[in-house]
Structure 1
Amino acid sequence: MKRLLTLLMLLTFCLAPLAQGQDQKTVIENIIKEANGNSQLEELAYEMLDKNGPRLVGSPQMQAANEWAVNKFESWGISARNEQWGEWRGWERGITHVDLIEPRVKTLEAMSLAWSPASNGPVTAEVVMIPDVADQAAFEAWLPTVKGKFVMINAAQPTGRPDYNWEKFGTEASIEKMRKDRNTILRAWSQRIRKTGYNSRTLPTALEDAGAVGILISNWSRGFGVNKIFGARTKKVPTVDIGLEDYGTLFRMVEHGDAPQIRVEVTSKELGMMPTYNTMAEIKGSEKPNEYVMLSAHFDSWDGGTGATDNGTGSLVMMEAMRILKKHYPNPKRTILAGLWGSEEQGLNGSSAFVQDNPKVVEGLQALFNQDNGTGRVVNISGQGFLHSYEFINRWLGAVPREYKSEIRTNFPGTPGGGGSDYASFVSAGAPGFSLSSLSWDYGSYTWHTNRDTYDKIVFDDVRNNAILTAILVYMASEDPKTFPRDKAELGTNPRNGQPRAWPTPRNPNRKGGQ
C-alpha cells in the first residue's frame, strides 16, 4: 500500500505541469475563439462613440459614458463602480454655425473650442486680423479697433495639402519651394504675435477685454480637412476654429481689403462644477486577492470628434478583454482590475488620483497594461526601466500565438515613462505599468485630438488583435507563480545635460479643474 501511494504521488507530481499546460492552452484557445467568433467591439463602439458621443471631462456626455460603462460591465457579471476623484468645470457643447455673409454667402466649416462661451444668439460682424505692428505700444494703440469685430489670430496656411501628397506628385523644386514658403510665412506670423507683447495663451483674453465679439483660429493638423480642437482661453466671447480652406478664404479677403462679414452662433452651456470619475471594474482573485493585474485606458477625450482613437479604442480593448476574461477565466489567481480613467487629457489626473488614493493596490500591483495611441495593432512594449521586465514580459508574451505578436518589438529594460499616458502614473510610483504602443495609422495627423477622430477611423481587426493580446497578457500575469520584482535598472546619464537620469516623481492631480 505504501509503495502504491508513493507511486500515485510521483505520478501526480509529474502530471501536474502537463495538466497546467493543458489548462493554459485551453484558456488561451477560448480567449481567441471568443474574441474572433463573438466580438462585441462594433456594438460597444457604436454605443460609446455614436450614441453617447465625445467624453470631455466635466461634460454630461462624460458622466453618461461612466454610467454606461458600469452598466455594461455589470451586464457581463463583472462588479463595477464609478469612483469620484475630483470635480471639473461643467460645460456642454451645443451648435456651432458660421456663415460668410459678405462679400458672398457660404456656410463655413467651423467648431467652437471646448469650454468656449456661447454667443448668446447669432452675431454678425466684420472679420479682421492681428496687424503687423512695430511693437507692443503700437498694438495697444490698435487694440480698441477690435470692438464689435471677429479677430483672426492664426496665419493662413499656404497649402492645405499634406506633405505626403506633395511628395507623391510634386517636383523636387516645387516641394522645396513649398516648404520654404511655409516656414517663412509661419515664422513671420510668430514674430507678428511676439511684437504684440502677448502670446497664444494671453492674446485671446486681451482681445475679448478690448471688445472683440469672437476669436477665430485654424489649428491645422497637417492632413486633408483635419484640424485639432482643444480648449478656449476666452471667458466671455466664443473662440471658433475654422477649417483650413474657409479660414484661408477669410484671411485672403481681409488681406485684400474686402471686409468680410460672418454670422456666428454658438450655443454651449455652462453647468457649474461637476463631479469627475474613474470607472473601475473588478474580477476578484481566488488565491491572491490582494495582488492585482490591471487593464488601463483613459476614457475621457477631447470633443472635436467623438474620441474614437483617443482613446475610445483603448477603452474598447480593455472592456472587451474584461468581458472575455470573465467568461473564460472567471476565477483568476490574482484580482483583475480595469481602470477607465478620467481627465487624462488635462494631465493624467484620474489615474494620478487613483495612485494617490489606493496605495494598497499600487503596492500589490503585479502588472498594468495600458493602451492609448490609436487604433493600430500593438507593435512595441518597453520594460519601463524595471530590471527584471525582460524575464516577466517575455514569459507572458511567450504564451501569445505568433499571429498576435509577430510585429511586436520589445525594449528592455527601457526607461521609465514620466508622462504621455496613464501607465506613467503607476511607473512614477515604482509600480510595473506598461504601455502597449500601437502602429500609427497616421494617428498624429488625422485623429489625435482632431475633428476627424470618429468611429469610421477604427480598424477593428487591429483592435480585436489588441483585445486578444491584452487578455492573454493579463491571464499570464495573473497566473504567474512569481511576483514581479520592482528593482530599477541603472538609467545612465541624460545626453542633453550629462546628468544622471532620475526616476520620474508622482504627479499631484488637479482635483478641481477648468475654473
Structure 2
Amino acid sequence: MSKNYLKMYFSVCFAVISLSVSAQSTFQQNKQSIYKEISNEVAKNHQLEQLAFELLDVIGPRLVGSPEMEQAHNWVINTYKKWNIEAENVPYGEWKSWQRGTTEITMTAPRIKSIEGMQLAWNAATKKPVEAEVVAMPIFPSKRDFEKWAHSINGKIVLISPYQKSGRPENQWKEHATEDDFASYKKEKEHQNTLWNNSLKATEKSIREIVEYLETKGAVGFVQSYFTGTMGSNRIFYSFSKNTPMVDVSLEDYGLLHRLAVNEKSPLLKINTQSKKLGTAKTYNTIATIPGKTKPDEYVMLSAHLDSWDGAQGATDNGTGTILMMEVARLIKKYAPNNDRTIVIGHWGSEEQGLNGSRAYVMDHPSEVQKIKVLFNQDSGTGRITYIGGQGFTQAYNYLGTWLQNVPEENRKHIKTDFPGMPQTGGTDNASFVAAGIPAFNLGTQNWDYGQYTWHTNRDTYDKIVFEELERNVITTTILTLEAANDPNEISNEKRVLPANTEWPTVKEPKRNSNDY
C-alpha cells in the first residue's frame, strides 16, 4: 500500500471521526438551550389536550379488532405525518371484529326504572329485546345443589355477582364510622366474600363456566356488577355467554335487582343491545421512526399501547401513555431532530389481552429488537413519573442516573429509583423487551386512584386526565430520550445474577387471533 494511499485513507477516517465527534459535541454544547426551548414549548404550546380530544372524544375506546381501533392506528400515522415523522402500521395477526352499539336496560316490574349498565365486549346483540324475570344465584352448599338449582333458570335472567351491602368505599367507612362499626363492616364483608368463594368452589366451576353451563340450561340473560370498591366504578371486560345478552350494571341497580329477587318480588328486566359482529379484522402495531445520524442502527425506543377496553374512553389506560409518547416525538422532531441514535416509537395493539402487540414485535423483528439500546414505556395512568426500576440490568444506575441529572429538579425530586432491581415478567409492554434482554424501563407514575377508579372501568374518561402531570412527564421523558439518543458511551445490557430459584423471564408467543384468547 503506497504512502499517498495511506495518507488519503487516514484523512478520510479522520474526517468521518471528526464529523461524528462534532455532531456529538454540538448536541452536548447546546443541549441545555434545547431543553429550555422544549420546556417553554410544553408550558406555552403543548398539544396534549388536542391529542387527547382527537383520540378519546372523536375516536373513543379502542377495543382490539374494532373499527375504532383501526381508526386510532390510522390517526396516529396521519398525525405523525403532519409532523414529518415517518410511521406505518405493521400487521401481526387478526381478531374478531365487534362494534359496540346502544345498550338499553329497563326494569319493568315491580316498577319501571332505567338501569345503569352496558353490554360486555364481544357479546351477541339482541335481535329483539329480551324481557324476563330476574333470579339471583344463591349460595350453594354442594355441586349437587348447584345442578338442581340450574334446572330452575330456564327463561330467566341470572344475577351472577355477589351482593354488596354497602356501596361506600372502605376509606369512607374508615374515616367516618366508629371503630366498632368499621370493624363490624369489615368482618361482615369478609364473611360474605368467604361464603361466595366457597359457593363457587362447591360448583366446581369458574364464573365463566357457570355462565356457559346456565346458558345450556335455558338462561336468557346474565347480569353482573364488577364493582371496584370506588363509588360509580365498575370494571368492564368481555362476555362469557355465546348467544344471550350479558351486561354489567351499577352496584346501586344491581343491589336493587338482587334485593327484589331474593325477597320474591319477581323483578322483570328488559335488555336491548345493538352491537355488531363484523367478522375478523387485522391487528397492528404502529411504528414511527426519527432516523439517527451517526449511529442509525442503534435504537432508543418509546413504548405505549394504543388499545383499551371499551367501558369508557380508555383515557388513563392508555390514552395518556399514547399522547405522551406522541408529544415527545413531536418535540424531538421540532427541536432536536439530528440525534446520534435512531428514535423509534412503538404504539402496540392488544396489550390488554396479554401484551400481544409488543410480544409479536419481539418475535417478528429479532434483528430490529437487538438494535434497541434502551426503551422507555408508559402505561400507568395520568400521574407524574415517580418511579423507575433498573429491571435487573447491572449498569442501569450508571446511565439512567446520569441522564436523570439533566431532568429539572422540580420533576426529578419526585422520582425514586431502584437499582439494579428485578426483571419485570408482565403487566405492561416493557416486559416483552426485558425478556429479550433489552434494558426496557417502565416510567411508573403517581397513583391518582388508578387501580380502583379508572383502570379498565366505566370511568376512564377524558376528564380524569391531569394535564399538569402529563406536562411534567413530557419534559422528563423527552430529556431522558435525548440523553439516551446522544450518549457517546455504550449502553450496557449486562444482567444481574438473580436470587436462587429465580430465572430471567423468557420471550413469549403472542396471541395472534381471538381463538387463542
TM-score by length of 1: 0.94
User: In structure 2, do the counterparts of structure 1 residues 20 and 77 end up closer, same or farther at CA, with 3 Å as the change threshold?
Assistant: closer
Provide the residue aligned with 1:288 in structure 2: 295
C-alpha offsets along residues 303-351 of structure 1, whole Å, 9 cap, x if unaligned?
1111000000001100000000000011121110100100111110000
Check if 1:389 corresponds to 2:396. yes
Aligned to 2:165: 158
The Cα offsets for residues 204-228 of structure 1, whole Å up to 9 and x where unpaired, read as 1011111111111110011011100
Runs of 4+ in 1 over 6 A off after TM superposition: 14-18
Instruction: Supply the RMSD in Å over aligned alpha carbons.
Output: 1.6
Check whether the contact 1:280–1:339 (CA below 8 A) recurs between aligned residues.
yes
Identity of aligned residues (%): 46
- For 2:449 and 2:408, the matched residues in 1 are separated by 27
Deviation per CA, 1:383-403: give whole Å up to 9, x if none: 100010000101111111111
Alignment of 1:475 with 2:482, yes or no, is yes
Task: Determine if contact 1:110/1:243 at 8 Å carries over to the other structure.
Answer: yes
Deviation at 1:135, TM superposition (A): 2.2
Q: CA deviation at 1:144?
A: 2.6
Aligned residues: 497
2:220 is matched with which residue? 213
Contact 2:100/2:121 (CA < 8 Å) preserved in 1? yes
Within a 5 Å distance, the mapping from 1:323-402 to structure 2 comes to: 323-402=330-409
The answer for the alignment partner of 2:451 in structure 1 is 444
Paired residues of 1:366 and 1:484 also in contact (CA < 8 A): yes
Q: Contact between 2:350 and 2:356, CA under 8 Å: does it hold in 1?
A: yes
Deviation at 1:16, TM superposition (A): 10
SS of structure 2 residue aligned to 1:146: coil
What 5-or-longer segments of structure 1 have no aligned partner? 1-11, 494-498
Shift of 1:189: 1.6
- Choose the corresponding residue for 2:209, options 202, 220, 225: 202
Deviation at 1:145, TM superposition (A): 1.9
TM (normalized to structure 2)? 0.94
2:445 is the counterpart of 1:411: no
1:423–1:192 distance in 2 versus 1, CA, 3 Å: same
Report what 2:15 is aligned to: none
The whole-number CA distance in structure 2 between the counterparts of 1:132 and 1:413 is 48
Q: 2:31 aligns with which of 24, 49, 74?
A: 24
One-letter amino acid of the structure 2 residue matched with residue 271 of structure 1: L
Question: What code does the residue aligned with 1:85 have?
Answer: Y
1:422-458: per-residue Cα shift (whole Å, max 9, x none)? 0000000001100000000000010000000000000
Compared with structure 1, are the counterparts of its residues 15 and 110 closer, same or farther at alpha carbon in structure 2 (3 Å cutoff)? closer
Determine the C-alpha separation between the residues in 1 that align with 2:347 and 2:152.
48
Distance 1:15 1:185 in 2: 70
- 2:146: which partner in 1? 139
Residue 116 of structure 2 corresponds to 109
Distance 1:44 1:123 in 2: 40
Aligned mates of 2:456, 2:25 — CA distance in 1: 49
Amino acid at match of 1:124: E
Tell which deviates more after alignment, 91-100 or 139-148: 139-148
Q: Distance in 1 between matches of 2:372 and 2:23?
A: 27
Partner residue in 2 for 1:278: 285
Q: Distance in 2 between matches of 1:16 and 1:158?
A: 66
Q: How far apart in 1 are the matches of 2:224 and 2:494?
A: 48
Match of 1:301 in 2: 308
Contact 1:49 1:306 (C-alpha < 8 Å) held by counterparts: yes
Mark the CA change 1:15 to 1:332 in structure 2 (over 3 Å): closer, same or farther: closer
**Cα deviation digits, residues 107-149 of structure 1 (max 9, x gap):** 0111111111112221110000223344222322322321111
| 1:428 alignment counterpart | 435
Structure 1 position 240 matched with structure 2 position 247: yes
CA distance in 2, matches of 1:50, 1:209: 40
The offset of 1:404, in angstroms, is 1.9
How far, CA to CA, are the matches of 1:353 and 1:138 in structure 2? 45
> Which residue of the partner structure matches residue 511 of structure 1?
512
User: Does the 8 Å contact 2:142/2:199 carry over to 1?
Assistant: no
8 Å CA contact retained: 1:121, 1:267: no
What residue is the counterpart of 1:68 in the other structure?
A: 75
**Cα distance change, pair 386–443 in 1 and its aligned pair in 2 (3 A):** same
* Contact 1:130–1:151 under 8 Å retained in 2: yes
1:142–1:482 CA distance, 2 compared to 1 (3 A): same
Partner deviation per Cα, 1:151-190 (whole Å, 9 max, x = no partner) = 0111111111111111221111111111111111121122
Match of 2:16 in 1: none
Structure 1 counterpart SS, 2:208: coil
Cα separation, 2, equivalents of 1:299 and 1:405: 27
* Inter-partner Cα distance in structure 1 for 2:376 and 2:28: 24
Structure 2: which 5+ runs fail to align?
1-18
By how many angstroms is 1:482 displaced? 1.3
Shift of 1:194: 2.4
Q: 1:15 to 1:117 in 2, by over 3 A?
A: closer
CA distance in 2: counterparts of 1:473 and 1:331, whole angstroms: 16
Q: Which moved more, 1:231-240 or 1:130-139?
A: 130-139
Inter-partner Cα distance in structure 2 for 1:15 and 1:39: 31
SS in structure 1 at match of 2:98 = strand
| Structure 1 residues 245-260: aligned runs within 5 Å | 245-260=252-267
Superposed displacement of residue 17, structure 1 = 9.1
- Answer yes or no: is the 8 Å Cα contact 2:24–2:488 preserved in 1: no
